[in-house]
Structure 1
Amino acid sequence: MEIRTTTTYEIIEVCLLAGKIMLSSGAETYRVEDTMTRIAASYGIRSSHSFVTPTGIIFSMDGNDPTKLIRISERSTDLRKVTNVNSISRQISSGELTAKEALVKLKEIEVSNLAYPKWLQIFAAFIASGCFMIMYQGLWTDFLVACFAGGLGFSALVYLHKLLEIKFFAEFIASLIIGTFAFIAVSYNLGTYVDKIIIGAVMPLVPGLLITNAVRDLITGHLVSGIAKGAEAFLTASAIGSGIAVALIFL
């Protein structure tokens, strides 16, 4: 009996940790629930139940085993971690990993830093901003201005996240910097169309993955998660719009 309890505890820990990593790395709600259910079924537990929201995961099994809750306090986008967890899930389904071995591998993924370096993320935002500006029919003469505006704004967002606990203010200040830089550049004849420059520069800040996941969750019937993610995306869009509006009004 004690051996079964220990094994069941490890299975619950594997399911919860896999779900936590996926959810905090940008995976959709239905994918998280499906992965947890498949892992439990692979270890012989056919009757498992999971309830996933953007801020927490509840997982339980039929019987006397305890229901457990994990709180998700930080969320980012790291699809490489999601891919690695999916790989471990497939290994579990094929019988290649025991619960203890899977738990060790998942803990390694949890503490690993698989994201691209900050300088590379900023450089990608730098190039993307100019490309988005061109895509929205801007002028090539404004390309570098849009690149610098987007690079400055994204840099501010990255480093302000470490200083400010409330994400809204970091996004607001980042968009304010973009609007101010674009307006000053056009005022000194370094750029032509301030609107096209701003549109291109704010695109790296737009929560595209969050909006996509919100729509997909709503379509698949996860109404709580879909509405919560939609509200978060709306707040981010409001922060970006407010920062640009303040910059244009006062400048």
Structure 2
Amino acid sequence: MAVTKEILALAVEIGDALLRNGAEVYRVEDTVMHILEAYEIENYDVYVLSNGIFASANEDREDACSMIRHIPLGTTHLGRIAALNQLSREICSHECSLIDAWNRLERCKNISFGKPVVHIFFCGLGCGCFSYLFGGTALDSIVGFFIGMLLQVFLFALKRHKNSKFITNILGSAFVTLLSLIVLSFGTPILYDKVIIGDIMPLVPGIALTTSIRDFFNGDYLSGAIHMIDAILTAFCIAVGVGTVITIYHFARGGAALL
């Protein structure tokens, strides 16, 4: 029983790490099943949702074992996913022992997100490019670049306080809208709507939306619905943040239209 439990625990832990870092449901399920087969466990059941894993092995034998794992929706880390996929391939080709697999798993889970300064710069760069892509001027792109960097700093600060995802999206979108309107109020000739659109792009739930569509196509309707609801609620929070600040600014100017 100890061997079966350890093998199942390894498979579930790898599936947990994949799902926690943004892997698709069907890939997680396929990976867990292949790992169990690699260790010659034939009688098993694996069911994966967007935020949970249910797995059992050898149910008709004395060493029967089952596990349930709750996994909250998290951020995407493609580097960890790539490392975990390579680990699963080596396990399936019998190039990695059980003990080595556990050690490799810990290293995969500890791959860093990169230096904060890199996140800040590329968040600003992405925001500036999106501002230009959506019809903004070169000046809009420059303003979007600096506001985008400030947005990433703001998101890092919110992360340290462990705010909920909804609060983070509302405050983040309100923050970039406020900064855009402040720049506009100084008489800077910018298209504030283009700047705002570009700067809220890091908050837009594009991955959640595309993942939900992929889940629907694969017949994982429950997982697809979970991701779709997550995307819709995130978009709603962004709209609340932007709309609230614009409305307050509008009334603070005596109801004058924004130009």
Q: Quick one: percent identity of the two aligned structures?
A: 30
Aligned counterpart in structure 1 of residue 42 of structure 2, from 34, 41, 46: 46
Distance 1:115 1:191 in 2: 37
Aligned counterpart in structure 1 of residue 137 of structure 2, from 136, 139, 162: 139
The one-letter code matched in structure 2 to 1:69 is I
Q: Give SS of 2:200's match.
A: helix
Partner of 1:109: 108
Partner of 2:197: 199
Aligned counterpart in structure 2 of residue 183 of structure 1, from 181, 184, 188: 181
Distance 1:9 1:203 in 2: 44
Distance 2:206 2:156 in 1: 17
> Larger RCO: Structure 1 or Structure 2 (Cα < 8 Å, ≥ 6 residues apart)?
1
1:7 equivalent to 2:6? Answer no
Q: In structure 2, do the counterparts of structure 1 residues 178 and 191 end up closer, same or farther at CA, with 3 Å as the change threshold?
A: farther
- Alignment root-mean-square deviation, CA: 1.4
1:59 equivalent to 2:58? Answer no
Structure 1 contact 138–193 (Cα < 8 Å) conserved: yes
Structure 1 contact 206–237 (Cα < 8 Å) conserved: yes
- Residue by residue over 1:145-196, the C-alpha shift from the partner in whole angstroms, topping out at 9 and shown as x without a partner, is 1112222223222321221431101111111011111111112122421111
Partner of 1:97: 96
Distance 2:209 2:76 in 1: 13
Q: In structure 2, do the counterparts of structure 1 residues 164 and 144 end up closer, same or farther at CA, with 3 Å as the change threshold?
A: same
Distance 1:235 1:29 in 2: 20
Structure 2 contact 50–223 (Cα < 8 Å) conserved: yes
Q: Give SS of 1:67's match.
A: strand
Distance 2:123 2:95 in 1: 40
- Residue by residue over 1:116-173, the C-alpha shift from the partner in whole angstroms, topping out at 9 and shown as x without a partner, is 2222112111011110011112101222211122222232223212214311011111
TM-score, normalising length from structure 2?
0.90
User: Can you give the 5+ residue segments of structure 2 that lack an aligned partner in the other structure?
Assistant: 250-259
TM-score, normalising length from structure 1?
0.93
